[in-house]
Amino acid sequence: MTTPNTSTSNTPITPQPSGTHATAPDPGHGNGNGNGNGNGNGGSRSDSTAADAVLWIELLLHQFPELLVELAPSYRSPSAPRAAPSGHGPAPAGPTRAEREEALRAEQAHGLTPSGSRTSPVRLHISDAVRDITDGVIELDEAVHDRLRMPRPRRERVSGRLLRVAGLLDRAAADDVLLEHIRDEVRRMARRCTRALGGAEPVVRVAGRCPWCDSVSLRAFPARRAVLCVNPACRCTDRACDCRTDPAHRHAWSEGAWVRLAAESGGDLTELTGATADTARREGGR
């Protein structure tokens, strides 16, 4: 398995202009709403998708090294004194960065953990996230090269592969399906990285009143592409909805119900749609 990168680039990723590659998008992707009428908005749509992909890649480049730090077990109790008592030898030093990287490689390749005393075990949810993201980046890098009919990419660390994918976004702009796949995959991995680090799911307040309980408790959850009523006492009349029987469940409106929700709640559909937009700016700015 390719060793994940433990460093990140400080240079912002800037995709090349993609308008010249998106003049003839695939059917169903030409106007940004999926009806394929070819009204000439394909270039701006590709530009927007590429820009969002860049932001998700930058977020992942920033957070993945933090995930590796969380994975490395602590070899010294935080409450232990830093200085050795008089007359005793120096306290054993914690592992160096190289040792932590080697421990990670051994753990990933063989499921082995380093011997010796340590105060906290490797957390499985962190280890699973590291593996998922590492494998996902490798598969994405190879898929992009295959789709663009390029030679198989050389082995590289996670950060190197992400930067390589970012450098191919201008060529991918000619293929809306590929471009959206890149954006969706890096978004998924960045989100998993954020959640593993303890980040909360973004929530946006939505104007209007809940059609069921009449309270101002509507909230948009962009990661789920849904609007929920967060009032614990809210109950709808839909017999199939679990909010009637499960106190922890909240009634939700998926994308297909937003037009009706905006009309019944007194809200604005444009504002509601903007609140549910799943963007890297919203995720990374919290």
What integer pLDDT is reported at residue 170 of this predicted model?
A: 92
Helix extents (H) in 38-157: 42-71, 97-110, 124-147
Closest listed residue to residue 185, CA positions, set 130, 148, 133 = 133
Q: How far apart are CA 173 and CA 43, in angstroms?
A: 8
What integer pLDDT is reported at residue 139 of this predicted model?
A: 96
Mean pLDDT value across residues 252-273 = 90
Q: How far apart are CA 227 and CA 219, in angstroms?
A: 6
What integer pLDDT is reported at residue 29 of this predicted model?
A: 40
Q: How far is CA 51 from CA 129, 168, 245, 249, 273, in A?
A: 25, 13, 43, 36, 19
For 195-213, b/e burial (b = at least 16 CB within 10 A) is: ebeeeeebebebebbbbbb
| SS3 readout for 197-241 | CCCCCCCEECCCCCCCCCCCCEEEEHHHCEEEECCCCCCCCCCCC
Per cent of the chain over pLDDT 70 is: 63
Mean pLDDT value across residues 89-118 = 55
Mean pLDDT value across residues 200-229 = 88
Q: How far apart are CA 73 and CA 17, in angstroms?
A: 44
Per-residue pLDDT of 51-72, as tens digits, reads: 888 988 998 998 899 888 887 6
- Using the predicted structure, report yes or no on whether residue 167 has a pLDDT greater than 70: yes
Mean pLDDT value across residues 165-181 = 93
Beta bridge pairs of residue 180: none
Q: Which of 105-109, 112-116, 222-226, 262-266 has the lowest mean pLDDT?
A: 112-116
Per-residue pLDDT of 20-41, as tens digits, reads: 333 333 333 434 433 333 444 5
What integer pLDDT is reported at residue 133 of this predicted model?
A: 93
- Using the predicted structure, report yes or no on whether residue 44 has a pLDDT greater than 80: no
